[in-house]
Structures are given as structure tokens and as C-alpha cells.
A and B are shown apart, each in its own frame.
Chain A
Amino acid sequence: MSRKKQGSVFARLRPKWMPQSSMTRQQFVLGMFALVAAALCWHAVHLQLDKGEFLIGEGEDRYEARIQTDAHRGMLTDRNGEPLAISTPVNSVWVNPRELVKHRDRWPELGKLLAYSPEYLEATLEPRAERSFLYLKRQASPELAEAVRKARIPGVHLTDEYRRYYPAGEVAANLIGFTNVDDLGQEGVELSFDAALRGVNGENRVIRDRLGRVVEHVERIKDVQPGRDLALSIDRRLQYVAYRELKAAVEKHNAVGGLMVVLNAETGELLAMVNQPAYNPNNRSEAKRESFRNRSLTDLFEPGSTIKPFTVAAGLESGRFKPTTVIDTSGGVFRVGTTTVRDVHAYGPLTLAGIIQKSSNVGVTKIALAIEEKLFWQVLDGAGFGHASGVELPGETAGQLDSWRNWGKADHVTLSFGYHTNMTAVQLARAYGIFASGGLLRPVSVLKQAETPAGTRVISQATADAVRDMMKLVTEKGGTAENAAVPGYTVAGKTGTVKRASAKGYNDSGYRALFAGFLPANAPKLIGVVVIDDPKGKEYYGGLVAAPVFSNVMQEAVRILNLTPDRPEDATTVPQRFAAWAPPMQQVASKNP
């Protein structure tokens, strides 16, 4: 019954062209099914054969991901394992602008979290609405990262990155350098050892689920290789003392800048290297670019009187002079051609030792004139004048020393007291090493050395020891640098006060106060060079400005390194001590009853 009724409804709806008989209708429907099936089959074949690869790729893109694993940047430590630069993972906040623009209602909340004004957020996100990746805040603090994670704003994500911290801060800034936001070395040790410190980022192919969790590890494309930890030759304690004393001196004398280099006299390792002005490597936003450079390596100066030990050494090597040879410097003025050489005071007859002790220009001029130019040049060249020290730090300049063949008569003379050549503080410290090591020049290194590197002989042991003994007089009574003395230890050294050269020549551009020396003089362990640039106070002599810095730093250094005093006469005997006993306990007792 119902069928008939339905039939009549269909009959009414049936278009004119459709077959009327039920038999042909059945055939028609079946035919249609077959057609659809055929179309499906054809489509399947088409997908499989024509678009197969493309679709498989698309599919993999949906669930497969290549994950980069950042390599951990190696740690920098000092020679005792104290950290100087550490990378620690931090979170960076990144957003998917395409998603975030759909949730404008959450923007004020986001701005408040990240401390960005609504205008800034608008200006940053709006033009990039079509992009799907944008860093909003790199290297956020752990607290901020946690707050962002909890806020669960759609399209806002966190990613792991490394941030470099420098626990020593300003103290070692110019030496260590820094990395940029992508953890690549930009200056200093960070730059010169970047390749070793950086390591190799790893890459893995994985399958992720809908929530982005890694479900399956498909393939390791590249293994992550963490960067190497490097132990520098620096001693962080010495570095700090040098920093403190240098900074105090630069402030006291109102100087433009200053630097100090401390070398291990036995191995050539760099123990401390400080610069003024410095900067805070952990927050460089206010640092001036020019304070980034490492002045101990880049800035050239004329060595002035600090070259005199080399002139005297050349004199001794020539065989024409003995340490006791007397040279007449009376008058304090000496004319060579058109050049007039002057002494600060007229000293009269001086031995070679006296010339070093009093720093007589006339004396060294007479020595230089008496020896062959080639020999003089050989000593200076052998001591590393005009050659970069080769220390593994970026930006080193080599300085200049003309070949003796090109010397005019005046060059020969001015060289003997340290003009007409220039060098860096590191080079000067290395050159002084020949007197500390009995005539050997050793390479300078910023990495901790397992063994003492071999040296090259520059002058004979006898000459080196004789000049060293002369330099001891400098820091004793009557020398130019009594202020460089270190109680309990013998100190050998030499002062220098150099006119700063400017574009206009030597007129009125101030002075540079220098001191170079080593101790204990009889078995040298430490070499130190101090340069104070343009002290503007009344005092500008190396012996008054630079020598006290040397003394202050070395007094602490011998205590820190536990060096045995080699001047027992300086200390009193036990009975004397007991006789002069002043009870220090009283003060303590009165303060803490």
C-alpha cells in the first residue's frame, strides 16, 4: 500500500527523460553506481601515480618535524677552574602572529607580561600578521618565562636558547670578550676560540602528535656535539687585583686610560690582562664601542726608557762594555748631528749599572753609538720588537721596528732610548722575559700550558743576568722606581715616561707613564707591565704613576701565589719581633666583648 503511494509520489517527481519501466530504472541506477566506482578508481590511481610523491611529502610535513638541538657553548675557566664565561639555558618568547592576530583581546595581557606598550605591540605585530614566527623577547628571565607559560595565550610560545654570562664581569671584559644574541663570539677569547667553543648543532627527524609532543624518533640527521670547555692561563684572583689597582690609579691620576699585563715568567702564560676603560659584558647597552677593544694588544706606544735594558744588553753582547765600564754623562746634554740628547739631571760619570738605575739618555746614546747597528737591531728584533707576540687573541698589532739597513744616524740614537719604534704592552712584557729567563724569548699564550714551551736564545745567559742585576738597582734606594719595590722580594724593572705622539707631533699631547719589571729577581716568576695613558695630575713620571701600580699588584700576587720571599734581610728576626710585640687581640676583644 505504502509502496504504491510512494510510487505515485516518485511518479509525479520523475523527470520526463527518466526511463519508465522498473527494469530499465534498475539498470540505470546500477550503471550510475558503476560510473561512480570507476571515477573513484580513476581518482585513486591519479592520486597514487600523479600526485603520490607530493602528497606523501605533504603528509609527512603534517606529522614529521626536523628538530634542531643547540649545542651547549663550552665554558671558559681560569687556570684554577673558576668560571669566566658560562652558557645557561634560558627561554625566549616567540609568537605566531598569524594566530595571535585572531586573539586581540589577549594583547593587553601579553603587553603587560613583557612590559611592552600596546602601541609597540601593535606596531610590531600588525605589519607581520602574515608571518608565522617572530621573536618577541629573547633570553627572558626564568620568572618571566614561567609567567608566560602560565598565561597560555594562543600563538605565544617559548623556546630554549642559551645565554652567556660572565661572572667576572668588568674585571675580565676586554680579555674574554663577549658573544652576540645568537651565541657567536664577537670579541676577545670568545671570538678567537669561537669554533672550539661553539660545538655543532644536532638535527633529528621525529614524529609529533597533535600537541607537538615528540612521539617517535625517526632518524638522527646530525649528532649534537657540545662545545669544548677551555681553561685559560688567566688567574682570576690576579686579574681582579690588577683590575682594582689599575682602576684606582687611572682615577687618581685622571688618566685617559691604562692597562696592565702580567705574565708567568717561566712559561709565558698570560696571568692577567686588564684595561681601562672597561665595560660590563653582562649588560653592554651603555658600553661605548671603543671600550671593547683590548688595548694591551691593539694600542701601540713608544717604549721610551723601558727599552734601555736592551740597549745595554746589546752593549754587553758587543764585548766593548762590561757592567763596570764607566761612561761620562756629565753635563746631561749630548749632541749627535742635529739631535740633542738630554738627561733630566746631569749625573756625571756612570757605570752601565748606573745608567740603568738613573735612566740616563746620554749614557745609552753613547753605548748605541759604540756598537754595530746590526747587532743592536738583532737584539731588539730577537726580543720581539716589530713582531706580533702570536698570543691567541684577535686584533693584535705587530708594532714597528725598521731594519738596521734603513736607519739614519738619528734613528740609531733615538732608538737607544725608546723612540722610533712602537709596540704593544704584551710585546713589551714578552721582551722583558729575556732578562727573566736568562736570555730566552718564549711565546705568549692565553691557554693553560701543560709544559713550559721552548724558548729561543736572544742574548747570552751572562748578559741577561747582568742586565737583570742592573735592573734590580732601579727599585732600590737611589733608583727611578723605588715605588715599585715589593717588601720581602727583589724586583728588577725599568720605568719609562714617553711623550704621546699626536697628529701634530709630540707637542702638548701629554705623557704615557710606563713600568716594566719582574720578580723575584733572582728566580723570576712574574713579569708585569703597567701603562698609564695621559695622567693629567702633577705627576706623570713612570716611577711615580705606573710603578706603584706594579708594586701594589705584585704585593698581593706574591701572597696569593705563595711565593717564597727572597730578601730575608727585609724581615726581622723572631726575637726582634717578640720584643716589638703590639697585641692586636685587644682591638678585636674590645669590638666583640
Chain B
Amino acid sequence: MRALIPVALVSVLIFASALQLVMTRYESKRLYMELHGLRLARDNLDRERGQLLLEQGTAGAHLRVEAIARQKLDMTVPNKEQIMRVYP
């Protein structure tokens, strides 16, 4: 009877570790899915950032800004007479 105690103990431990394994695998799978989702979200944000940067670059291209300033808004670069320099 006494000899059976360690056997029983080990059996319990084995059973517990088996359960633990199942739980860990489940947890790792869940975390991996979460990571995957976050990566997808990051990629999408990256994509959006790139597109916004591009949009900004296109909208703010000097050629375009200058054309709008000159043609639509009738702006000009001030000439020498229109600039007042103040010296300290």
C-alpha cells in the first residue's frame, strides 16, 4: 500500500501537467492570434500612414502650391521695394 503513494503522486502530477499543457497550448494559440491581429492592424495603419504622407506630399508639392498661389490667389513674391529690412 505504501509503495503505491509515490505512484499516485506522480500520476496526479502527470495529470496536472497534462492539463497545464493543454491550457498553455490554448493560451499560446490565443496569444498568437492576437499578435497576428495586431500585426494586421499595424500593417493597415502603416498603409494608411504611407498614403496620408503621399497625399500630403502631393497636395503640398511646391509646384502645385506655387501654381495655386500665383493663379488662384493672385499672390506674387514681394520685390525689393516692397520689403522693409529692419536692422537692430
Contacts and interface: CB of A to CB of B under 8 A. Distances in A.
Interface of A: 72, 82-83, 86-89, 160, 165, 167-169, 171, 214-217, 236-237, 240, 244, 487-488, 556, 565, 568, 571, 574, 577, 580, 582, 584, 591
A565 B57 contact: no
Nearest to A82: B57
Contacts of B56: 167
B24 interface: no
B86 interface: yes
B32 interface: yes
Nearest to B29: A216
Interface string B35-75: 11000000100110011011011100111001000000010
Contact of B82 (A167, A168, A584): A584
Given A83-B57, A214-B36, A171 B63 contact: yes
B80 A487 contact: yes
Contacts of B63: 169, 171, 240, 244
B53 A83 contact: yes
Q: A interface, by DSSP: helix, strand, loop or mixed?
A: mixed
B36 A89 contact: no
Contacts of A169: 61, 63
B2 interface: no
Contacts of A168: 57, 61
A168 B74 CA distance: 24
Contact of B54 (A165, A216, A244, A582): A165
A567 to B, nearest CB: 10
Given A86-B53, A167-B57, A237-B62, A72 B46 contact: yes
B84 interface: yes
A215 B30 CA distance: 9
22 contacts: A72-B46, A82-B57, A83-B53, A83-B54, A89-B46, A165-B50, A165-B57, A167-B57, A167-B58, A168-B61, A171-B63, A214-B36, A216-B29, A240-B62, A244-B66, A487-B80, A556-B77, A565-B85, A571-B85, A574-B86, A584-B82, A591-B74
Shortest beta-carbon contacts, A-B, top 8: A167-B57, A88-B50, A240-B62, A571-B85, A217-B32, A89-B47, A165-B54, A487-B80
A86 B54 contact: yes
A302 to B, nearest CB: 34
A523 B47 CA distance: 45
Nearest to A160: B43
B55 to A, nearest CB: 9
A88 B58 CA distance: 15
Given A89-B47, A167-B58, A171-B62, A577 B84 contact: yes
Contacts of A83: 53-54, 57
Nearest to B78: A584
Contact of A86 (B43, B50, B77, B80): B50
A40 to B, nearest CB: 30
Contacts, number: 64
Interface of B: 29, 32, 35-36, 43, 46-47, 50-51, 53-54, 56-58, 61-63, 66, 74, 77, 80-82, 84-87
Q: B interface, by DSSP: helix, strand, loop or mixed?
A: helix
Contacts of B58: 167
A491 B68 CA distance: 32
Contacts of B51: 88
Contacts of A86: 50, 53-54, 57
Q: Among A88, A165, A215, A582, which residue has the most Cβ atoms of chain B within 10 A?
A: A88
Contacts of A88: 46-47, 50-51, 53-54
B53 to A, nearest CB: 5
Contacts of B50: 86-89, 165
A582 B54 CA distance: 43
B28 to A, nearest CB: 8
A574 B54 contact: no
A574 B29 contact: no
Contacts of B61: 167-169
Given A88-B53, A571-B85, A591-B74, 19 more contacts: A72-B46, A83-B53, A86-B54, A88-B51, A89-B47, A89-B50, A165-B50, A165-B54, A167-B56, A167-B58, A215-B29, A217-B32, A240-B62, A244-B62, A244-B63, A244-B66, A487-B80, A556-B77, A571-B87
A310 B68 CA distance: 45
Contacts of B85: 488, 565, 568, 571
A31 to B, nearest CB: 42
A577 B29 CA distance: 77
A217 B43 CA distance: 18
B59 to A, nearest CB: 10
A556 B66 CA distance: 13
Nearest to B65: A240
Contacts of B81: 580, 582
A89 B50 CA distance: 8
Contacts of B87: 568, 571
Nearest to A578: B84
Contacts of B82: 584
Contacts of A165: 50, 54, 57
A171 B60 CA distance: 13
Contacts of B46: 72, 88-89
A568 B87 CA distance: 8
A86 B54 CA distance: 8
B40 to A, nearest CB: 10
A217 B30 CA distance: 11
A554 B60 CA distance: 22
Contacts of A577: 84
